[in-house]
């Protein structure tokens, strides 16, 4: 899947854009999401909150405008703070198949080796146009994402974990609609850059040298892969349509994921193939059990940053 030159480039720069990785998985994923949104839509329509609107993209934008919460029911993880007994999330089989797409796992194997765990820090991000954003909208799943390193938003317990992020473009990601940007050279630093915890965990601008910023457009089906120390953000969506991505993470099996309260599973094992999870129903069940367990537990805070640090003022 990756050439020796691509592997070398990833090691040298801490990120890599690879086109056409999960293209064949996307039609089924789109269909699954259309159906999931349709179920929500029927409820909102029955409650008089939205009008009749055809099309996934139009419905997402109309839902945001109407204040209908589409993010959590379509996300592929539970919230990290409060987990209510009935909090929804998406665990459809097409999405599971995308997460274990052979070309994607070949790419991951080329970078972290053949014993691969699917890390539960993972999200869908379906972003409406910036012109629709409400004042005070800071959620990184809905609006632009501030500069951060993924290691900086994970518990310290995973600081030595060999992990990569695989960011999947479901529609073409462009500078106009809010693609990712990376800070070149950031992955090889010894220490994390400072982050401030509010309103969205982020590295203050004074630590970002504009000359080192590189936007990373990628076509639908392509991915951006990056190292947990590679600082990145995303641009605002200045189009009239949505920007849709998934971000998945994979780590070497047996190492801490950074979110021990959430389920992990073996996506590939050359040594013990019988341990691989291949059943989407099992994946859904793991999350159902996690929801049940966490809804009875106190909330765990997981950021290491102090909002009273001088650079956060």
Residues 232 and 255: their CA atoms lie apart, in Å, by 24
Only segment of 146-154, 174-182, 251-259, 277-285 that touches Fe ion (CB under 5 A):
146-154
Question: Bridge partners of 256?
Answer: none
Q: Which is nearer to Fe ion, 44 or 262 (CB)?
A: 262
Least CB distance to ligand AKG at residue 226 (A): 8
Q: Which is nearer to ligand AKG, 171 or 234 (CB)?
A: 234
Least CB distance to Fe ion at residue 260 (A): 19
Residues 119/258, Cβ–Cβ less than 8 Å: yes
CB closest to Fe ion, residue no: 150
CB under 5 to 8 A by kind: which of Fe ion, ligand AKG, none does 76 bind?
Answer: none
Three-state SS string across 209-263, please? Answer: CHHHEEEECECCCCEEEECCCCCEEECCCCCCCCEEEEEEEEEECCCCCCCCCCC
CB under 5 to 8 A by kind: which of Fe ion, ligand AKG, none does 234 bind?
Answer: ligand AKG
Q: Which is nearer to Fe ion, 83 or 229 (CB)?
A: 229
Least CB distance to Fe ion at residue 182 (A): 10
Question: Bridge partners of 213?
Answer: 183
CB under 5 to 8 A by kind: which of Fe ion, ligand AKG, none does 143 bind?
Answer: none
Q: Which is nearer to Fe ion, 150 or 264 (CB)?
A: 150
Q: Which is nearer to ligand AKG, 96 or 167 (CB)?
A: 167
Residues that bind ligand AKG (CB under 6 A): 125, 140, 145, 150, 165, 167, 180, 232, 234, 245, 247
Task: Give CA separation, 266 vs 100, 260, 271, 283, 293, in Å.
Answer: 10, 15, 12, 11, 21
φ and ψ of 117, to 5 deg: -105, 135
CB under 5 to 8 A by kind: which of Fe ion, ligand AKG, none does 125 bind?
Answer: ligand AKG
Interface with Fe ion, residue 150, by CB under 5 A? yes
Least CB distance to Fe ion at residue 248 (A): 11
- Determine whether 123 is exposed, middle or buried from the number of CB atoms within 10 Å of its CB (0-12, 13-18, 19+): middle
Least CB distance to ligand AKG at residue 296 (A): 30
CB neighbours of residue 178 within 10 Å: 26
Q: Which is nearer to ligand AKG, 149 or 290 (CB)?
A: 149
Residues 169/247, Cβ–Cβ less than 8 Å: no
CB neighbours of residue 153 within 10 Å: 21
Of the candidates 90, 85, 164, which has an alpha carbon nearest to the alpha carbon of residue 126? Answer: 90
Only segment of 150-158, 238-246, 289-297, 299-307 that touches Fe ion (CB under 5 A):
150-158
Of the candidates 264, 245, 227, which has an alpha carbon nearest to the alpha carbon of residue 151? Answer: 227
Only segment of 87-95, 144-152, 183-191, 290-298 that touches Fe ion (CB under 5 A):
144-152
Judged by the rule CB under 5 A, the positions of this chain that interact with Fe ion are 150
């Amino acid at each position: 899947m990756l050439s020796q030159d691509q592997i070398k480039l990833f090691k040298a720069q801490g990120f890599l854009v690879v086109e056409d990785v999960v293209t064949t998985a996307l039609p089924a994923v789109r269909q699954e999401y259309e159906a999931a949104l349709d179920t929500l839509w029927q409820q909102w329509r029955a409650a008089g909150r939205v009008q009749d609107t055809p099309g996934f993209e139009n419905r997402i934008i109309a839902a945001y405008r109407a204040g209908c919460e589409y993010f959590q029911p379509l996300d592929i993880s539970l919230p990290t703070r409060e987990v209510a007994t009935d909090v929804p999330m998406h665990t459809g089989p097409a999405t599971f198949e995308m997460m274990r797409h052979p070309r994607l796992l070949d790419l991951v194997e080329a970078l972290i080796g053949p014993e691969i765990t699917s890390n539960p820090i993972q999200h869908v991000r379906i972003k409406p146009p910036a012109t629709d954003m409400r004042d005070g909208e800071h959620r990184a799943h809905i609006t632009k994402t501030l500069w951060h390193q993924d290691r900086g938003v994970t518990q310290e317990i995973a600081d030595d974990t060999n992990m990569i992020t695989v960011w999947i473009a479901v529609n073409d990601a462009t500078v106009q609609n809010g693609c990712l940007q990376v800070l070149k050279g950031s992955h090889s630093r010894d220490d994390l850059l400072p982050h401030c915890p509010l309103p969205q965990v982020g590295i203050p601008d004074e630590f970002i040298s504009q000359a080192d910023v590189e936007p990373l457009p990628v076509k639908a089906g392509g991915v951006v892969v990056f190292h947990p120390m590679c600082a990145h953000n995303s641009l605002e969506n200045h189009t009239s349509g949505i920007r849709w991505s998934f971000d998945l993470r994979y780590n070497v099996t047996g190492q801490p994921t950074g979110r021990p309260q959430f389920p992990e599973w073996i996506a590939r094992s050359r040594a013990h193939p019988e341990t691989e999870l291949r059943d989407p129903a099992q994946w859904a069940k793991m999350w159902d059990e996690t929801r049940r367990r966490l809804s009875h537990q106190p909330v765990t805070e997981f950021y290491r940053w102090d909002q009273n640090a001088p650079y956060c003022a």
